[in-house]
Chain A
């Protein structure tokens, strides 16, 4: 009887394997990610959008191509952690907007110095709800940076909720910051500082 159970188990195991392979044929987070990355690179390589004077235009075009793959609400929720639930729905909406802007400035800003860097897909791992896509960012001088994308299945659509660079989770990093601010000061202070950050980012881009 025990033996039978075991064999049944193996059978079930094989089925699960089959399911997962069939399942990954349907939607593949890694493929989605790499397609988005390629779309982004097309914008960055576009000669008509090159140069310092086209910075704003290029950033906007790039943002249009890639922003859909991020789940900003999920990111905000995770970055605020236990404080998320205490916020009203308007506050949540405002926070998502502020946080999205910070992330946008941080990551779109980095593409200004694009110079033939590459992104290589290494591995991906997924279950029905979560996926991790491991990639390698290779700079022109050959430096390799490990970048992992954590993705969440939103009703059939995979979206990024965290980016982990050399072991540093972006969301954990912001959560540490938010937590530390909220430990000493009220939520309003955090919002104020995020708004300051936003204007700071705008002046920085305007200065360029």
Chain B
């Protein structure tokens, strides 16, 4: 029995190695070959990808990419938009096969489909993203047909966006361009490092709240090193010498980790993009911010001013560029910023 096992494994290995050399130049048949074998042995392949290929191979007509989560995703979609015949449309935006529903749909029905899609999306948002989390490969693009941001106060938000945009281009940008000319970049980086070092408690506590013991330890080590070797936080030897990365954890992320949903989108004057959760998070972070103590010792104006200067300095280092690159190339800058904010927050929460 045992002998036969080993001999069969050995045989398969030898055969495969031969094939490997023969087919090395031509990837397609190689892959097909491995598919067939994987199919025989029922998914003992080393990583998920080849399993999916098996799935793809057997159901050729389902030619949707994003193999890894295909089944789950379909289930999700079905939950959201169950009894509509147009489901297939949202499942396969790639257009490998045309459904009858779609080709002769009159306009009003199309609208209805859109509405249904939007609804389905907003309901299953959290699930969709939860599923997406582990996947790096393939295509998570075709998943989210409708943007999943809830934005019931869009007219108000758009107004604030226009205001912020004007404030940026007519006030903040000219001022920081001048500031950049006067203050060398190294000095501005040191200002950023200094404030970042002072604000360590917030990141440290949020690491603890999220159960990231390593993160908390890193923050503690960074604080000790940068306060001493880094001359009171002006420099960042913890990163440059020891490769200890800053842990960008905030209270909004802590709330998200505690399963709080994002709520609706809010565009705050001056502060910019946020949502219900991150606004609460912002207040929480203020409470953990040592700069807030200044307002009790000296006065709130000084504290606010210092914190404002910190933000301004950050914009002058790279925040302004980020804002411009998101909005300048957009067809609808408001949506572009909103979507970029949401995508970036999701990444940060995942980390």
Contacts and interface: CB of A to CB of B under 8 A. Distances in A.
Interface of A: 3-19, 22-23, 25-27, 77-78, 81-82, 84-86, 102-103, 105-107, 109-110, 125-132, 139, 141-143, 150, 156, 161-162, 166-169, 171-181, 183, 190, 193-194, 197
B31 A19 contact: yes
A160 B331 CA distance: 21
A26 B27 contact: yes
B259 interface: no
A176 B94 CA distance: 17
Q: What interface size band does chain B fall in?
A: 35 or more
A171 B141 contact: yes
A141 B328 CA distance: 23
Contact of B65 (A14, A129, A197): A129
Interface stretch (B42-50, B159-167, B284-292): B42-50
Nearest to B44: A9
B61 interface: no
A96 to B, nearest CB: 15
With a 10 A CB-CB cut-off, give which of B1, B38, B339 has the most chain A CB atoms.
B339
Nearest to A5: B41
B37 A15 contact: yes
B216 to A, nearest CB: 22
A193 B343 contact: no
B176 to A, nearest CB: 15
B13 interface: yes
A197 B95 CA distance: 28
B322 to A, nearest CB: 9
Contacts of A15: 12-13, 16-17, 20, 34, 37
B141 A4 contact: no
Give the top 7 A-B pairs by smallest Cβ distance, nearest first.
Answer: A167-B347, A9-B44, A106-B329, A15-B16, A11-B9, A176-B147, A176-B339
Given A84-B95, A127-B50, A177-B330, A167 B346 contact: yes
B46 A16 contact: yes
B222 to A, nearest CB: 15
B100 interface: no
A130 B329 contact: no
Interface string B20-48: 11011111101101100110111011100
B93 interface: yes
B136 A25 contact: no
Contacts of A130: 65, 137-139
A16 B24 contact: no
B94 A77 contact: yes
Contacts of B138: 127, 129-130
Contact of B12 (A8, A103, A131, A141): A8
Given A7-B8, A177-B330, A78 B27 contact: no
Contacts of A166: 344, 347
5 contacts: A13-B46, A22-B24, A22-B30, A78-B142, A127-B67
A102 B317 contact: no
B144 interface: yes
A143 B6 contact: no
Nearest to A15: B16
A30 B141 CA distance: 20
Nearest to A140: B185
A179 B146 contact: yes
Contact of B344 (A168, A176, A177): A168
Contacts of A169: 141, 343
A193 B110 CA distance: 22
B318 interface: yes
